[in-house]
Amino acid sequence: MTARKNLYNVGAILKGLSITFKFMFAKRPTIEYPTVKKQHSPRFHGLHELRRYEDGKERCIGCELCSSACPANAITVIGAENSPDDRRSPGERYAARYEIDELRCIFCGMCEEACPTDAIVLTPRFEMSDYRRGSFIYGKDRLLVPPQAGVGEAPDERPGGIPSDLGRVAEIKSTVDVGEGYSATWRGEILKGERKGLAG
Amino acid sequence: MLVIFIKSAILLLVVVTTFAYAMLVERKVLGWMQMRPGPNRVGPWGLMQPAADAAKLMLKEDLTPKTADPLIYRLAPFVSLLTAFGAYAIIPFGASSSGTWAIGNVNAGILLLMAITSIGVYGISLGGWASGSKYPLLGSIRATAQMISYELAMTMSFVGVLIIAGTTSLDGIVHAQLRWWFVGPQIVGFMVYIITAIAETNRAPFDLVEAETELVAGFHTEYSGLRFGLFFIAEYVNMLTVSCIATLLFMGGWNAPFHLTFVPGVVWFVLKVAAFMFVYIWLRATLPRLRYDRLMAFGWKVLLPVATLNLIVTAIVVAITG
């Protein structure tokens, strides 16, 4: 009997028609994505970024805590000793190789929490689609902020920003102009040296 | 002879363009009713979308299933399309002092129109049957049953109009509505006609022939590329045809409402047809599909008796008042 009621309930049909008609003029929530982009929260977990100190030195000290904290095993860090005439970071060690497989990464932010020097930070950037799997392995060439850009463009969620005294920047004098040597071949040279070191 | 060819070419162009933009308008309006913007990427406001769709359909592969009956399978879309376009040979769109704007002015226009549009079901039935696949077969069985059931009520629904007008010529029916549109005295017939017209063109909520939730895509499941496109065109052209018929029979054709005769009759005709097309889209956005047995029960137990009763009452009233 209810079926019969539904089929011949003209009032309900008219009510439905009025609802759809009203919705024709309703405000549409669509964000037309490629042309209009949504503002993400500063805490959004997107693509990683390796930061520097204000003097241009890398924050990463190659401790591999991020790598061990990573639940998805997405981070590979190979540390190396800083040599006195080529200081990459303020500490004793730096990351000779730092790779994140963004396809494995679950963007949980545990690396960010584990990092003692706040070197690895998740930025709100999220558009990293590509055609090859290999290009999702982000090395230092793409993760590290360029020295010209200062400490990093991404907003920091802490009110004071990144504390600049982390890692005792003031006590260690820079011996190398960090602006040089970051050409496209730099990473390749480092990896060559690293392979030699591993063999020896 | 040449004049008829030119007229036909122009009309064909107009109908195909109308189809293309009716499709765009449908997608837009459906989008708005569902709080979406609708297609808006190709050209300004998506105005080039029909061209993009046409190019896509033409470039797609034309598949014929191994189990299909090749000849009938390939022929069926053309049956649908030709009958859909055939109707426009006798539909008048307006009138001037020299005559009506139609390719052919037939005495028994409405009867010929019904005869032509009724053949359209063959395209759907044969296409589904010749696909050699279960879902199209189910779709075409439904199409046949549904079309036969609703065709009867549909024809009954406008016999009342013919009795009042005293003619079966479309031209004459429109002229008979100079003072009063038949939607007033024939409101019951009008309602029955609208409902059956939706069922005849297999549109929601009577789209059991396609019923994508149950039958994949119904009768055109196996069709792809341009052949699918032909069925698609036929569906929209049929919508346009029944909207034209509804305008001619019930809404006064090209007669202007409230004596607003400074606007040309063709404009009124187009506006009325557009209103019907909008109602089609509106209903699709609103109502869920009927269950098959209820569709049949509704057609035979409600629409047909109501239409017949309307016919009898109209006949009696006309006989008494002369």
Per-residue pLDDT band at A187 (split at 50, 70, 90): very low
Identify whether A135 is part of a domain.
yes
Q: Kindly provide the b/e burial profile for residues B277-290, where b requires at least 16 CB atoms within 10 angstroms of the residue's own CB.
A: beebbbbbbbbebb
Query: What H or E segment, with its residue span, contains residue A119?
Result: none
Domains of chain A: total: 1
User: What range defines the domain where residue A93 resides?
Assistant: 31-157
Amino acid type, A43: R
Query: Are the beta carbons of A7 and B290 separated by less than 8 Å?
Result: yes
Per-residue pLDDT band at A90 (split at 50, 70, 90): confident
Q: Chain A contact for B114, CB < 8 A?
A: no
Query: Are the beta carbons of B32 and A7 separated by less than 8 Å?
Result: no
Q: Is B43 left (phi over 0), alpha (psi -120 to 50) or beta?
A: left
Contacts of A128 (CB under 8 A, 6+ apart): A47, A102, A136
Identify whether A132 is part of a domain.
yes
Shortest alpha-carbon distance between residue A59 and chain B (Å): 45
Per-residue pLDDT band at A106 (split at 50, 70, 90): very high
Q: What is the interface pTM, i.e. ipTM, of the complex?
A: 0.74
CA distance B65 to A69: 55
Cβ-contact B60, B221 below 8 angstroms: no
Q: Which residues pair with B100 in a beta bridge?
A: B95
| Chain B CB contacts of A35 below 8 Å | none
Q: What is the pTM of this model?
A: 0.72
Shortest alpha-carbon distance between residue B134 and chain A (Å): 29
Query: Are the beta carbons of A13 and B282 separated by less than 8 Å?
Result: no
pLDDT tens-place string over residues A118-171: 889 888 888 888 888 888 888 888 888 877 655 544 444 444 444 444 333 333
Identify whether A3 is part of a domain.
no
Q: Is the pLDDT of residue A199 over 80?
A: no
Q: Chain B contact for A24, CB < 8 A?
A: yes
Question: From the first residue on, what is the mean pLDDT of each consecutive set of 10 residues in chain B (322 residues)?
Answer: 84 87 90 88 86 88 85 88 86 74 78 85 86 86 85 86 85 81 84 89 82 78 86 88 89 78 80 90 88 85 89 89 78
Diameter of chain A measured on Cα atoms = 91
Identify whether A44 is part of a domain.
yes
Q: Give ∠ CA B111-B116-B122 in degrees, rounded to 5.
A: 135
What phi and psi, each to the nearest 5 degrees, are found at residue A98? Answer: -140, 110
Structure tokens at A123: 């930025």
The answer for B 22-81 residues in CB contact with A (under 8 A) is 29, 32-37, 40
Dihedral sign of CA atoms B260, B264, B267, B272 in order: positive
pLDDT tens-place string over residues A65-86: 998 999 988 888 888 888 877 7
Identify whether A150 is part of a domain.
yes
Structure tokens at A56: 């241009």
